[in-house]
Structure 1
Amino acid sequence: MSRYETLKYEEFGPVARVTLHRPDVHNAFDVQMMREVYACWRELRDNDDIRVIVLTGTGDKAFSTGLDRVAAAVGEDDRIPDIGRRGGTPMHQNEPGDWLMPKSSGKLWKPIIAAVNGMACGGAFYMLGEVEFIIAAEHATFFDPHTTYGMATVYESMMMAQRMPLGEIMRLSLMGSYERMSAQRAHQIGLVQEVVPAEELQETALRVAQTMASQPPLALQATVRSIWYTREMGYRQAMAAGDAMVQLAIDEDELSEGQRVFKSGKRIDWRLR
């Protein structure tokens, strides 16, 4: 994975940290980053040594500010003809999300923690919309500038509407660049699960990731997939899918290890959040 130019990739035992790395443009994505993010999701999916992923951005100014509009304006997207293009009718539209979304595109069902280290806006929501949960630095902000520049926010707002109350996503989307949601407000409405000082962000995210990664991988992944089913289906359909997930998640070695831990009587040092 060292071939990446727009991402930093690190491994901490069973945890991988993927860092969006275009600091000169606030980690905005161009076509190269889109290709590399997609490749990274697929490689992480197939890497059995990695159980949990932390996704963050370089520096302390931005997680990502979405599409690099300057790069798009000068034609960098011509390197992949179908990005931002459509076929003979409007029914065949291609979007950056086709490359960036870890679940829909990458088919990656390992837990992903987003460590939001600054501004997160616009196209960043393609990624944040499909992580398991978000830890944010105190100075992090969330906004969507589409409407300010004459564009509807569609896919991004649809994805974030699954994580936010209706009034909140409406206000965030319709205020454009004129208002930003603080990390504290994001925490109040449930978009963010923890807010920490900036200097503690990476340590906190890695600690949580390492704790999750200490547990059996099949149990983690089946749990992730089952909970996402409840977002994608009606209640009855999700419960029916759950019948299959219970069977798929049975691994005799993992169950035996779990039983051994239970019978050992060893106290688990839990942390109150």
Structure 2
Amino acid sequence: MTLSDVENQGLEGPWEQLQVRRDGAVLWIEMNNPAALNAVSPVMQAELHRVWVGYDRDPSLHVAVLIGAGERAFCSGADVGAVADTARRRTSDYDRESSFSPAHAGVTKPVICVVNGVCAGAGLHFVADCDFTICSDNATFVDTHVSVGQVSALEPIGLAKRIPLGSVMRMVLVGRNERVTAQRAYELGLVTEVVPKDQLRERAGQLAGWVAAGSPAAIRTSREAIYDATVNDDLAALRRGYVLLRSHADHHPDAQEGPKAFFERREPKWAPLEDSR
């Protein structure tokens, strides 16, 4: 099956290693292989790519929540069995163009990462690439790559934009012996909130609901302006941000609908989000 075939399947099932459900404008994506601690297998990688593309193309969905099944792990990293299998065809089993994280798949809408339990190795992709992360009070974060003879490159590049470089290097170099607790992750800015594990899903749903209530167009343009600052210098990013701000304020109906709804004491009626692809 080619990538285009995978993408064209959209958000409808069946799913082998994901659970995908809609809750109004919120899309819940659950990595569903708890027996393997939700390790990213070739099957899960392809399904994640498919779900990100489908989510970004669906105008009725305004925010996605990513979580792992079970209580032990959010994601234990890449499937070690597949990584160690030298006979596998690397261009098919792990397709280098099949992007399993939202940023690499080009998602233009918000994604909330919800870490329950262990987040290791490739699981850190999601922490680095989602808009923000919350975690349970029993969550831990660890980069095991070098401890099993693998190069750690992609995840720490993303993490270095969020937390101090020294903390990233310590995780990479110390490997499996450096486990960052939930509290330490909060102190570093790796997560924005630590939640009791039995309240994690409820809190994630509350946050997602608040995000979904905002203007989809204003949120998408805000994300574009902010992320632009991570790849350009401040002056260029500010100039780009001003252009985006003025274009929205002068031409998009949501810019008038928001204040009008506020003064009329009613919920705003946002314009449908147009496909940016």
TM-score bracket for the superposition, by shorter chain length: 0.7 to 0.9
**Does the 8 A contact of 1:31 with 1:76 survive in 2?**
no
Please say if residues 31 and 80 of structure 1, whose CA atoms lie closer than 8 Å, have aligned partners that are also in contact. Answer: no
* Structure 1: distance between partners of 2:128 and 2:201: 20
- TM-aligned CA distance change 1:167 to 1:215, over 3 Å: same
1:162 paired residue number: 161
Counterparts in 2 of 1:156-195, with a 5 A limit? 156-195=155-194
Instruction: Tell me which of 20, 23, 34 is aligned to 1:12.
Output: 23
CA shift digits 1:42-75 (9 cap, x unpaired): 1101100100111110011111011101133346
Give the match's secondary structure for 2:223: helix
Distance 2:134 2:183 in 1: 11
Q: Give, in whole Å, the separation in 2 of the partners of 1:76 and 1:136.
A: 37
CA distance in 2, matches of 1:79, 1:149: 19
Kindly indicate whether the alpha-carbon contact (under 8 Å) linking 2:19 and 2:31 is maintained by their aligned counterparts in 1: yes
1:1-273 pair list within 5 angstroms: 1-74=12-85, 77-78=88-89, 80-81=91-92, 83=94, 94=96, 99-103=99-103, 105-250=104-249, 252-264=252-264
If the length of structure 2 is used for normalisation, what is the TM-score? Answer: 0.85
Structure 1 residues 62 and 235, CA, compared in 2 at 3 Å: closer, same or farther? same
Q: Distance in 1 between matches of 2:236 and 2:225?
A: 11
- Number of aligned residues: 255
Offset, 1:151: 2.5
The answer (yes or no) to whether the contact 2:45–2:94 under 8 Å persists in 1 is no
2: distance between equivalents of 1:222 and 1:119?
33
Aligned residues: percent identity? 30
Q: After TM superposition, give the deviation of residue 216 of structure 1 in Å.
A: 1.0
CA contact (8 A) 1:45 1:110 kept: yes
Q: What is the match of residue 8 of structure 2?
A: none
- One-letter amino acid of the counterpart of residue 186, structure 2: H
Asked whether the 8 Å contact 1:31–1:79 carries over to 2, the reply is: no
2:7 maps to what in 1? none
User: Does structure 1 retain, via aligned residues, the 8 Å contact 2:42–2:93?
Assistant: no
- Structure 1 residue runs without a partner (length 5+): 85-93, 268-273
Letter in 2 for 1:45: D
2:161 & 2:129 partners in 1: Cα distance? 10
The verdict on how the C-alpha distance between 1:46 and 1:72 changes in structure 2, with shifts beyond 3 A counting, is same
1:126-182 deviations in whole A, cap 9, x for unaligned? 222110111100000001011112223111111111111112111111111112000
Consecutive unaligned residues in structure 2, runs of 5 or more: 1-11, 268-277
Letter of the structure 2 residue corresponding to residue 258 of structure 1: G
Cα separation, 1, equivalents of 2:240 and 2:158: 22
Query: Equivalent residue of 1:56, what SS?
Result: strand
- Distance, in Å, in 2 between the alignment partners of 1:194 and 1:76 is 42
Judge which range, 68-77 or 201-210, deviates more. Answer: 68-77
Contact 2:119-2:139 within 8 A present in 1 as well: yes
Cα offset, 1:248, TM superposition: 4.8
| Cα distance between partner residues in 1 of 2:59 and 2:83 | 36
1:115·1:134 contact (CA, 8 Å) conserved in 2? yes
Q: Residue 56 of structure 2 contacts residue 109 of structure 2 at CA under 8 Å; is this kept in 1? A: yes
Deviation of 1:232 (Å): 1.6
Amino acid of the residue matched to residue 213 of structure 1? A
Alpha-carbon distance in 2 for matches of 1:125, 1:179:
14
Distance 2:215 2:148 in 1: 46
